[in-house]
Structures are given as C-alpha cells and as structure tokens.
C-alpha cells in the first residue's frame, strides 16, 4: 500500500516570479566570439533611435534601407546584411580572424551606411585560424578567454 507523503504548506516561502523584459528600449550591439571562425552578435535598436533616424534621414530611407552589421579588421571591413526582424546573428568569418569591433546600421538605397550602434572591442583577442584541429582552435579561444580581464568595453551609438 502506497501512501502520499504530507508536506507542510509552502505558501509564502517562495519569492514572486520575475520576468525579463523582451527589450530594454536601448540601442546597442554586442559581439561575442564563438570560435576563431565565427562570432555571435546580438542587438537592440530603441524607438528613440528609430525616431531620430526618421527625423534626420526620413521614414522612407528607413523603410527602403537594409539592417546590416559591419565588422572592422586592421586592414579592411566587411558588411553583412541582416533581416530587419532579427535581433541576433551568427557571422561566419572564414580565415579573416576576429575583427576589432563592429557597427550595427542601415544601408541606404544609395549604398551609404548609417551607424546606429558601435560594438564592444574585440581587438585584444587576436585569434587567427590555423591549420590546427577544431579542438585545438577551441582550446586557443578558451585560453584567451581565461586570460581576459573581465571589463567589457561598451560604446553606444548616437
């Protein structure tokens, strides 16, 4: 014969539930290294930034432009087009190595890039792909991350 255990009432013993907001109404972009050939980017563009863009460049330019992430290395930069509804993206770097930093912005119809936010600084990582195995590359990133001082550089757009 089984018997259901009786526990004292837990009412009032638990803290109330807290929920994280879907967004913080702020404008930022953050880059994170996944491995020497990939980075992960996440961002948010606030309503204030969107309205500022509309006032300065026109609502039509917003609607006819494309969200993009531009990454900078010492000797070059590369722009990746993103989906407007996205708020994060994995970026394949190939053999370029880790960029120094990035900018989130909009590419207008005439090809010009309007910066909305500037990312954290990745230039101290200096990770370059090599002929080593994937496990060895991950070990290299792990060693760099373990030795990294935990003070993220964070620069905002406008």
For the domain covering 28-147, report its CATH number: 2.60.40
Angle value at C-alpha 152, between 23 and 144, nearest 5 degrees: 125
Helices of type H across 58-133: 59-63
Pairing of strands 101-107, 28-35: unpaired
Among 3-7, 35-39, 85-89, name the one with the lowest average pLDDT.
3-7
Burial class (CB in 10 A: 0-12, 13-18, 19+), 106: buried
Domains in the chain: boundaries? 28-147
Over residues 28-84, the pLDDT tens digits come to 999 999 998 999 999 999 999 999 999 999 999 999 999 999 999 999 999 999 999
Query: Tokens standing for 107?
Result: 């590419």
* Distances in whole angstroms, Cα of residue 65 to Cα of each of 44, 82, 108, 136, 149: 17, 11, 5, 41, 38
**pLDDT of residue 155 exceeding 50:** no
Structure tokens at 114: 């309007």
Q: Which secondary structure element, helix H or strand E, spans residue 147, and what is its range?
A: helix 134-147
> Which SS3 state, helix, strand or coil, does residue 116 take?
strand
What is the model's pTM? 0.69
Q: Residues 131-139: what's their mean pLDDT?
A: 54
Encoding tokens for residue 123?
Answer: 């230039």
Q: What percentage of the chain carries pLDDT values higher than 90? A: 58
Q: ∠ CA 84-87-88 to the nearest 5 degrees?
A: 115
């Amino acid at each position: 014969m089984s018997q259901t255990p009786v526990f004292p009432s837990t009412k009032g013993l638990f803290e109330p539930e807290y929920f994280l907001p879907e967004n913080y109404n702020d404008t930022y972009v953050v880059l994170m290294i996944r491995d020497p050939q990939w980075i992960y980017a996440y961002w948010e563009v606030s309503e204030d930034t969107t309205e500022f863009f509309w006032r300065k460049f026109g609502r039509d330019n917003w609607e006819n432009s494309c969200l993009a992430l531009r990454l900078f290395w010492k000797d070059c930069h590369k722009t990746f087009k993103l989906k407007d509804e996205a708020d994060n993206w994995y970026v394949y770097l190939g053999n370029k190595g880790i960029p120094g930093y990035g900018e989130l912005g909009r590419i207008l119809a005439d090809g010009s890039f309007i910066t909305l936010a500037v990312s954290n600084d990745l230039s101290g990582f200096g990770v370059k792909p090599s002929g080593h195995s994937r496990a060895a590359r991950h070990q290299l990133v792990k060693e760099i991350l373990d030795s990294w001082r935990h003070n993220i550089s964070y620069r905002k757009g406008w």
